Amino acid sequence: MTLPLPFPVLDANASAQGGFGALPEWDLTDLYAAPDAPELARDMAWLEQACADFAADYEGKLAALDAAGMLDCVLRYEKIDVVAGRLMSYAGLRYYQNTIDAERAKFLGDCQEKITVFTTPLVFFSLEFNRLDDAHLDALLAANADLARYKPVFDRMRALRPYQLSDELERFLHDQSAVGSAAWNKLFDETLAGMTFEVAGEDEPLPLEATLNLLTDTDRVKREAGARALAEAFGKNLKLFSRVHNTLAKEKEIEDRWRKMPSPQMARHLANHVEPEVVEALRNAVVAAYPKLSHRYYRLKAKWMGLEKLEIWDRNAPLPTETPKTVDWDEARATVLDAYAAFDPRMAEIARPFFDKGWIDAGVKPGKAPGAFAHPTVVDVHPYVLLNYLGKPRDVMTLAHELGHGVHQVLAADQGELLSSTPLTLAETASVFGEMLTFRKLLDGARTKAERKTLLAGKVEDMINTVVRQIAFYDFECKLHAARTEGELTPDDINALWMSVQAQSLGDAFEFMDGYETFWAYVPHFVHSPFYVYAYAFGDGLVNALYAVYAEGEPGFQEKYFEMLKAGGSKHHKELLAPFGLDASDPTFWDKGLSMIAGFIDELEAMED
């Protein structure tokens, strides 16, 4: 019942602030004015009472409710979800603005603990609901259209029926969650946010984002210095990161074993409302495409850079022909809003308040969470976007990506709290589509062959990072969790698993420096949300297929697209894609998206002639 906190996304190339114009900061007062605001205390007190009253009114009685009574029960549960989500959103977002601030960390921890205690009496609801007879539930849904709206929520709950534990064990797991994985997540976040990196040639130690940003510098010496500083610092903290991963993987293995989950990935597939065979088909299609995608592209890049082999600090390096460019905030805003408006003016109108009303926190600050994310908060407020903006062209694409999430979350909010939440696989659709719109607009405006080449290469690298890299990450997690069932993993064990997927996915164009084997340590998704990463590849493949339909002039595409986003989590991926003539369960579906990437590489190769 407690709301998952937002967390940073991978490969958002952002770092230290400066010279980009006035960067916006969050105004969290739409949630609460301050930690000691009377409204926050009021909502916390209301939540405690509402949870107790809900349990008193409904525990042991769900089977006796008629359709109207069940609807009232669901609406009360949804209201509790909204208030708990509002409280946790405020505490979480405030914490991510400065994760090394002890007061913010304490406030978040206190809120988590209170809300976990308050909502423990609600654990019965899903367990008891899942014991309802199918015929009885079908009759209730048939009798009340308002209740029937919630069928997708009920279907997702009942998909967990085979894996439910006893009521007492479920309460125990809920109760101890604040000192289980949530506590290890905080340790990871605070450790990473507090780390500094001694980079050769820099006057003072740099934080993580500034150091990662060096990997995209035009100066190869600076890129190497950044990579070696990362490796040195990760190496010094490797025992701690190894302990975090060992503990979380073992905790997951124990819970999965008790629940009789067939695989470590199954809980994620259920949460994503996606069939395991669909994910397996995606994974297999991407791995089979490594040679014609990443292997081929990086050999081409090595040639452009005049190198026999690329090092890891060359992976996201600018091309030698690329003119260094700093994009100020106003230009970034105009670029993305113009691209959105060219697709449909409504899309730009939905995105505009993010800039004007304090819904974006863009600058890099000490202790701020790295990367980027869009957090939906709750349906009666609005989303908030976090960036670490550095004025690089890739930062503009990150802005387009996160605003896509924001637009999606705004449109889905009308579904209500329980139906608005979109499975991760579909949640990436609008964000990647927003990126594609922005990229295509820039590509159409390219004035020279060199400019077009730079844009194409940048897009290919982003797509490789989104598809190839994330599937490699997924394989790494699969190997890690499988290996952990055999016993404790040493840092060297984890390093070896990491390198096995890196060499396979990146190909023979690379040499890997000593120390790169530790780079698994800073990836937050492995800690916060196991097996999340395949959602990026899913979203990219889906959007590539979707964009092809748009480019072919599908009648009424914009209207269909908006209806898809408005659906939130109320429809299965088959229903959402059917109006576009697409089906992700078709094994050949993923080849369409991968062919788009291959086509871009074909064009880049042709430019060599």
> Which residue ranges make up each domain of the chain?
31-159
Give me the pLDDT at residue 19, please.
Answer: 66
d(CA 304, CA 322): 11
Give me the pLDDT at residue 16, please.
Answer: 37
Residues 241-294: tens digit of each pLDDT:
999 999 999 999 999 999 999 999 999 999 888 999 999 999 999 999 999 999
Give me the pLDDT at residue 18, please.
Answer: 53
What average pLDDT does the chain have? 92
What is the arithmetic mean of pLDDT over 67-73?
98
d(CA 31, CA 106): 19
The answer to whether residue 497 scores a pLDDT higher than 90 is: yes
Give me the pLDDT at residue 309, please.
Answer: 96
The answer to whether residue 5 scores a pLDDT higher than 70 is: no
Give me the pLDDT at residue 12, please.
Answer: 34
Residue 199 Cα distances to 212, 218, 227, angstroms: 11, 16, 9
Give me the pLDDT at residue 6, please.
Answer: 37
The answer to whether residue 446 scores a pLDDT higher than 90 is: no
Nearest to 83 by CA among 124, 7, 32: 32
The answer to whether residue 536 scores a pLDDT higher than 50 is: yes
| Measured torsion, CA atoms of residues 326, 330, 334, 337, in degrees rounded to the nearest 10 | 110
Give me the pLDDT at residue 9, please.
Answer: 35
CB of 297 closer than 8 Å to CB of 465: no
Per-residue confidence band for 15, with pLDDT thresholds at 50, 70 and 90: very low
The answer to whether residue 10 scores a pLDDT higher than 80 is: no
Could you tell me the strand order of the sheet in which 360-361 lies? 360-361, 384-386, 373-375
d(CA 373, CA 332): 17
Q: What CATH number is given for 31-159 in this structure?
A: 1.20.140.70
Give me the pLDDT at residue 178, please.
Answer: 73
CB of 26 closer than 8 Å to CB of 360: yes
The answer to whether residue 4 scores a pLDDT higher than 70 is: no
Give me the pLDDT at residue 426, please.
Answer: 86
Mark out the alpha helices in 120-203 (DSSP H runs). Answer: 124-129, 134-143, 145-148, 151-158, 167-175, 181-194
More confident site: 178 or 193: 193
d(CA 212, CA 521): 13
The answer to whether residue 126 scores a pLDDT higher than 80 is: yes
Give me the pLDDT at residue 447, please.
Answer: 87
Residue type, 408: H
Per-residue confidence band for 475, with pLDDT thresholds at 50, 70 and 90: very high
What is the arithmetic mean of pLDDT over 174-193?
87
Residues 330-366: tens digit of each pLDDT:
999 999 999 999 999 999 999 999 999 999 999 998 8
Give me the pLDDT at residue 306, please.
Answer: 95
The answer to whether residue 8 scores a pLDDT higher than 70 is: no
Percent of the chain topping pLDDT 90: 78
Tokens describing residue 60: 């042991």
pTM for this structure?
0.83
- Hunting for tokens 């690298």 — which residue is that? 461
The answer to whether residue 609 scores a pLDDT higher than 80 is: no
What is the arithmetic mean of pLDDT over 310-337?
92
